[in-house]
Chains A and B, each alone.
Chain A
Amino acid sequence: MSDKAADVVPALQVERLRKVFPIRGARRDAPAEVSAGPGLLGRGLITRRRGTRPGASAELVAVDDVSFAVPPGRSLAVVGESGSGKTTVARMIVGLERPTQGRILVAGRERSWRHVSSRERRRRAREVQIIFQDPYSSLDPRQTVRKCLDEALRLHFDWNGDRRNARVEELLEQVGLARRQADTLPRALSGGQRQRVAIARALACEPRVLVCDEAVASLDVSIQAQVLNLMSDIRDVTGVTYLFISHDLAVVRQVSDDVIVMRTGHVVESGPTEQVLESPQHPYTKRLLAAIPRPGWRPTAISDAAESTGPAA
């Protein structure tokens, strides 16, 4: 995305990524709106049955023709509203969903081949780690913080106990958790502290790419600022590459160098964050920006008419 990075192998690259979910069990004569949830048909996401997949009467195109590259150490944000496909992109990159079409490369190496050894799967997991939105459901409630971090280290490195312990201490220090918190269960921690544990667990594998899926969206404002500062410190120290999935343009401005704006599975605008947010070209980006409350803001009806009243049957 920036010129000087063109000759560097991108830390993360996706090419023409596409993901289609079949919608099973829908009656063929029923409106797809009913079977697929509200609003999707009107927004162009659902197509009626074309192929011959048994049981599928409609398809949901969650991601369509998405390409981008992130140079090492840079930070790319994917923004969009619900149903834009941004989380599906993240899940495919991490390996939680399989792309229907397209390629995903980490440090130039393809990771979308299907049948691989468990060693290769572990190697892939080490390269890309994810931090989820909700730290209340992403940690094992019966595992102490230390066990949680130790497990990640044991799985990915051939280290002895002392070395792992030292690394756990180092990770705790890095994410700003006190040493005494290492032996507590998640239920004794606040939301912000849990999210720090999730960050430490992701960092334990020394990933090249850290995917943050709305990682600060559920935190209180004062805690959100702390975690955003922490993430920027971590990038300075480790040089990790970030992929931020977010609906929040203010957060995006703070954490990303480049941004792509997604809507109904498509990329509608991309470029350096500063440029996109200061002079947005696409009407949808403009609408997103106009909808953010700020001093002097007055809410206006900005969704287009078709959306604000939902799809016509």
Chain B
Amino acid sequence: MNVLELDALAVDLLVEGRLSRVIHEVTLNVAESQAVGLVGESGAGKSMTSRAVMRLLPAGAVIHGDIRFWGRSVLAMDTGQLRAFRLRDAAMIFQDPRAHINPVRTIGDFLTEALLERGESRHRADAIVSGLLSAVGITDAARRMRQYPHELSGGLLQRVMIAAALAIEPKLLLADEPTTALDVTTQSDVMVNLGTQRRERRLAMLFITHDLELAAAVCDRIAVMYAGYLVEDSPAASLHAEALHPYTAGLLASRPSPSARSRRLAAIPGRPLSAFEAGDGCVFASRCPFAVDRCRAERPMLREFASGRVACHRVEEIRGRLSAVASGTAAYE
């Protein structure tokens, strides 16, 4: 059974008094114990998708389609149900822990707030929280709980954020670039803790990141977004060997490698489009070296292909070339 189902999710935001669509018909499921990486560049709509799940969109936003948690529509929830959903079922981890943890309350206050709100005793809440802090790799929990956010480093604070998310024993974790602001060694530590906790608790996770390599390493499936559209959804294990969408192949090829210097990086030409800039055809057509007239005229639908789903007219023809591009053995052209 799927913990989270996005069913033709579309989001309109109020921009200068007009509604403009920033997410287009995203259909995506996350099963129990499964981690799905939602990958894309700035403006692709990945954060907006995760915020839509929590119904944390800006005022005036309109959501189309449906979002279901264990088969129950999140969009149909009334205020009380939504509050319960956020307090018990789904938790979110943000990129910048310093901006999301109250600076004038202690770490202990922050961590126990939701538990006390749920009616746990102070004594029990403290016990749960200090157990969680050790679980995410923070020793001397008692001292940390008396400290304030400014006394902790970014890596520690992000672990506190993860502990806070786990404290409510959610079934669904939405992690929005949780390690982007951290040093690489700290990122590795945080990902270990997050992975262990997720597996032990059979959590479903939507992991939002711009880092395709990181997502491929820690997730089961990768969903790639571009300009508000889902363009590919593939098993993480097969991503490097067989990227299905030209954009995914381009992303893999354009990232430099620490183990080899390429004479020239295979840069995707042009810049990432915003959702409202998309024309009639494929959103990626203007930057795609494989685009033909049909791509510019007719928008490809996301369809089942090989072991995943892809929105590309030409995937059958260019499959072999994409693999060569992604592995760096062919130029991106």
Contacts and interface: CB of A to CB of B under 8 A. Distances in A.
Interface of A: 33-34, 37-39, 81-82, 190-193, 220-226, 228-229, 232, 247, 249-254, 273-274, 277-278, 287-303, 307-310, 312-313
A253 B261 contact: yes
B188 A302 contact: yes
A81 B217 contact: no
Contacts of B240: 295
A247 B184 contact: yes
A197 to B, nearest CB: 14
27 contacts: A38-B151, A38-B156, A82-B154, A220-B272, A221-B251, A221-B255, A222-B251, A223-B271, A224-B255, A225-B267, A228-B256, A229-B267, A251-B256, A253-B256, A253-B261, A287-B185, A293-B211, A293-B217, A295-B240, A296-B217, A299-B189, A299-B218, A300-B188, A302-B188, A302-B189, A307-B185, A309-B156
A294 B185 contact: no
Top-7 shortest CB links A-B: A225-B254, A225-B267, A299-B191, A254-B256, A81-B183, A222-B268, A220-B41
Given A222-B41, A222-B272, A291 B258 contact: no
B197 to A, nearest CB: 13
B42 interface: yes
B78 interface: no
A136 B271 CA distance: 16
A193 B271 CA distance: 9
B264 A294 contact: no
B187 interface: yes
B87 interface: no
B259 A220 contact: no
Interface string B121-153: 000000000000000011110010000001111
Contact of B195 (A253, A274, A290, A299): A299
Contact of B188 (A192, A193, A225, A291): A291
Name the residue in A191, A224, A293, A300 with the highest tally of chain B Cβ atoms < 10 Å from its Cβ.
Answer: A293
Given A221-B254, A249-B258, A294-B213, A226 B152 contact: no
Nearest to B151: A38
A299 B267 contact: no
A307 B264 CA distance: 37
Contacts of B139: 309
Contact of A293 (B155, B183, B185, B214): B214
A160 B297 CA distance: 50
A162 B46 CA distance: 48
B271 to A, nearest CB: 5
Contacts of B216: 293, 295
B187 to A, nearest CB: 7
B257 A250 contact: yes
Nearest to B195: A299
Contacts of A293: 211, 213-214, 216-218
Contacts of B271: 190, 192-193, 220, 222-223
Contact of B210 (A81, A220, A309): A220
Given A38-B156, A225-B255, A299-B218, A247 B183 contact: yes
A166 to B, nearest CB: 28
A220 B139 CA distance: 36
B137 A309 contact: yes
B262 interface: yes
Given A82-B183, A289-B258, A229 B265 contact: yes
